Amino acid sequence: MENERESNSVWGFVVEVVKFAVLAALIVLPIRIFIAQPFIVKGESMVPTFDDGEYLIVDEISYYAGEPKRGDVVIFRYPKDPSKYFIKRIIGLPGDTVVIEDGSVKIRAGEGSSGLTLEETYVTHASRDNLVTTLGKGEYFVMGDNRRNSLDSRVWGALPRENIIGRAFLRLFPPDEIGVFPGAVQK
């Protein structure tokens, strides 16, 4: 009789653990797959905005409702190897012409536009590249904030919209840098 009660309590415990695991998976997995995911910064292409090893949460849901904007810090699949994830800042939007001359970045939106020169206070090491490129539909021009040490659209071309995973939503590590929308451009 005592063995039977013991067996029932062990079986009850196992059933409760399985219920809890299934419930946790039903809640956590959709959030992890469709809403937010962790990302660890690797490399120095976004210094001083993000340092190597910083831990971010990526907002994956905002771009279902709207399009990426100039200045957003985005995480995306590298077009030359989609198994790799990169973090960069959006500089040019679909239809823009991006003109880079001696480290200065100018954006022309449409034909005949005189354009705007970006005020990039987050850039500490501007590159001395010279480039002119016009973006097509669904194409973005992205650059790292550390221009001298960044593999970005200047090298491999426009970023297709479908490669964008989401934007940097939350910095969780290091603790003294915790913040919402880290790297956001003040307008």
- Mind listing the pLDDT tens digit for each residue in 97-141? 998 887 788 888 765 556 777 777 777 667 777 888 899 999 999
Q: How confident is the model at residue 35 (pLDDT cuts 50, 70, 90)?
A: low
Is 88 noted as a catalytic residue in this protein? yes
Is 45 noted as a catalytic residue in this protein? yes
Which letter, b or e, does each residue of 122-141 get, where b requires 16 or more Cβ atoms within 10 Å of its Cβ?
A: bbeeebeeeeebebeeebbb
pTM (predicted TM-score): 0.77
**187 falls within a domain:** no
The range of the structural domain enclosing residue 18 comes to 1-34
My answer on whether 79 and 142 are in the same domain is: yes
The predicted-structure confidence for 55-94, as pLDDT tens digits, reads as follows 888 888 888 888 999 999 999 999 999 999 999 999 999 9
State the total domains in the chain: 2
CATH number at residue 51: 2.10.109.10
Distance between CA atoms of residues 124 and 141, nearest Å: 19
Contacts of 27 (CB under 8 A, 6+ apart): none
My answer on whether 17 and 105 are in the same domain is: no
Average pLDDT, the chain: 82
My answer on whether 55 and 140 are in the same domain is: yes
What is the chain's percent helix, strand, coil content, to nearest 5? 25, 35, 40
Q: Which of 30, 56, 24 is nearest to 42 (CA)?
A: 56
My answer on whether 60 and 150 are in the same domain is: yes
My answer on whether 7 and 93 are in the same domain is: no
Catalytic residue from among 84, 88, 113, 137: 88
SS3 of residue 112 by DSSP:
coil
Catalytic residue from among 7, 9, 42, 45: 45
Token look-up 């962790």 returns: 38
